[in-house]
Amino acid sequence: DSIHVFAPATSANFICGYDILGLALEEPGDEVKLTRVNTPGVVIKKITGDEGLLPTDSKKNTVGACIEMVLRHLNREDLGIEIELNKKMPIGSGLGSSAASTIAGLFAINQLLGEPLTRQELLPFALKGEELACGYGHADNVAPSLLGGITLIKSYHPLEVINLPTPKELCCSIIFPHVEVPTRAARQILRTQIELKNAVHQWGNIAGLISGLFLEDYGLISRSLEDKLIEPIRSILIPEFDQMKEIAKELGALGFGISGSGPSVVAFTKGLDKAKEITEALQLHLKHKQIGSNGYSSRI
């Protein structure tokens, strides 16, 4: 008995929706293989592609810990599960790396057990995994990785997640500059209080963006892709942020900002060719500045 599952990378926040909006990419993503064995307990057999960065103790690893939680919840701790994790994207990049592994693991264990839980019921376990990974159980990576497309976290208590429509031609270019920005640290530097006039501006953008998705109005989407609250603080951690924004906008991006907690940046485009053009231009710019990067162009 074994199962092999892929879960996609995600880009959280969608520029203006900190902790409430996220979207799934076509690629990259992570793969998890689970095998049933006779000895009870959850063990990590192998991790590849993580450059030795992830814990191999199943209680400390988000995939192992989440699978253990599901087995405990279902009273199936008698089962023996071996985990193989193949990381196919950079860790700590702002692409929902921990979320993709967690979701692949949760989806796999649920399938292996004959689907006792719905996808929505798997989400609270995934939030625990995010809490383990970065100190806070944010849902804007795990929800789109599990449900696909664009998701809105309408509320956390109780957890209510809504799938939003994806305009057909909406694509994105994502650049991961090779610097380290752990999510935990990128959350700690944020202010906990905001000014009312900035809040008004921000919720106008969020409402405009969501209306734009329903109306497939790329102009409205573009005018709404702006972040008054988080970007001014976090962008300081990202090399060449302002320059990359200028290049992306000049090339016709609908919007540009930080992907999740960074250091990846994201440019949204109408059409995949435009996304590829922007990915190439931004990577070339970073190369001139002697900064290595990974680049992805993806449909949503």
Contacting residues toward ligand HSE, per CB under 6 A? 12-13, 18-19, 94, 96, 138, 140-141, 183, 186-187, 260-261
253: tokens are: 């991006």
Question: Whose Cβ is closer to ligand HSE: residue 81's or residue 266's?
Answer: 266
Report the SS3 class of residue 71.
helix
Residue 222: CB minimum distance to ligand HSE, A: 21
98: annotated binding-site residue? yes
Residue 140: CB minimum distance to ligand HSE, A: 5
235: annotated binding-site residue? no
Cis peptide before 144 (omega within 30 of 0): no
Question: Whose Cβ is closer to ligand HSE: residue 143's or residue 281's?
Answer: 143
Alpha helices in 138-263 (DSSP H): 142-147, 183-188, 196-215, 218-224, 231-234, 241-250
Question: Whose Cβ is closer to ligand HSE: residue 29's or residue 277's?
Answer: 29
Residue 101: CB minimum distance to ligand HSE, A: 13
**Which residues are CB-contacts of 266 (< 8 A; sequence separation ≥ 6)?**
11, 15, 172, 173, 174, 256, 257, 258, 259
275: annotated binding-site residue? no
Residue with CB nearest ligand HSE?
A: 260
Residue 182: CB minimum distance to ligand HSE, A: 10
93: annotated binding-site residue? yes
165: annotated binding-site residue? no
Report the SS3 class of residue 26.
strand
* Angle between helices 241-250 and 272-288 in degrees, nearest 10: 140
Report the SS3 class of residue 98.
helix
Task: Give the catalytic positions in this structure.
Answer: 130, 183
Question: Whose Cβ is closer to ligand HSE: residue 101's or residue 183's?
Answer: 183
Report the SS3 class of residue 33.
strand
Binding site for ATP: which residues? 90-100
Annotated binding site: 90-100
